[in-house]
Amino acid sequence: MNNTSSKYGLVSIFLHWLSALTIIGLFALGYYMVDLTYYHEWYKTAPELHKSIGLVFFLLMVMRLAWRVTQITPSHLPSHSAVERKLGKIIHSLLYLLIFIIMISGYLISTADGRGIAVFELFDVPALGSSIENQEDIAGLVHKWLAYLLIALSALHALAALKHHFIDKDNTLNRIIGKGQTLENINEKTVN
């Protein structure tokens, strides 16, 4: 369940992959819905779904961040260079930052008119009101361009994992899909 010094626990693995799928799904839905015409059957449904999933995802990300802070992070593999370690930290931090800014900007878009957001028609998240002139437009631009940046960084993150797996042939990818070897096993193989 918990992380160890050599691998990620089931909760971290689950939250990582659920976040990845949610980000891809929200991006795809957002990209699809911006060109819908008024008479399209998804004109109202797509944005409502996007907002509801986005707000639930916000709660998931708060839980994920809390879990990450309370868990140990597995040690770097011996094959990771100092540059890879530094880049990994920077990319992970940027991913978290972008996700939260995108979610906040989405909230600001949706509540600029003073109305709250219905979450799957179960409850409403109240609006704080419009605090800046052209809030919807400014937040919309931030939301759009940071979403593109998030997808680009996520692709870079995935490519780095694939590079570690197929080129470096190390255990980086295996640890986040639940097949991680222990650090002791890795050190044992290095000695032999």
* Cα 56–chain centre separation: 13
**Within a domain: 52:** yes
Output phi, psi for 14, to 5 deg.
-60, -45
Average pLDDT over residues 150-167: 97
- Contact at 8 Å (CB) between 165 and 172? yes
Average pLDDT over residues 134-153: 97
Average pLDDT over residues 149-171: 96
Residue 183's pLDDT band (cuts 50, 70, 90) = very low
**Within a domain: 99:** no
How many domains are contained in the chain? Answer: 1
Give the domain range for residue 166. Answer: 1-76+120-185
Kindly report, residue by residue over 80-112, the tens digit of the pLDDT: 999 999 999 999 999 999 999 999 999 999 999
**Within a domain: 17:** yes
- Contact at 8 Å (CB) between 140 and 146? no
**Within a domain: 115:** no
Residue 173 pLDDT exceeds 70: yes
Residue 179's pLDDT band (cuts 50, 70, 90) = confident
- Contact at 8 Å (CB) between 143 and 109? yes
pLDDT recorded at residue 185: 47
Percent of the residues in the chain that have a pLDDT greater than 90, as a whole number: 89
Average pLDDT over residues 71-82: 94
**Within a domain: 86:** no
**Within a domain: 133:** yes
**Within a domain: 132:** yes
The mean pLDDT of the chain is: 92
**Within a domain: 83:** no
Neighbour count for residue 66 (Cβ, 10 Å) = 10
pLDDT recorded at residue 48: 98
Kindly report, residue by residue over 118-139, the tens digit of the pLDDT: 999 999 999 987 778 999 999 9
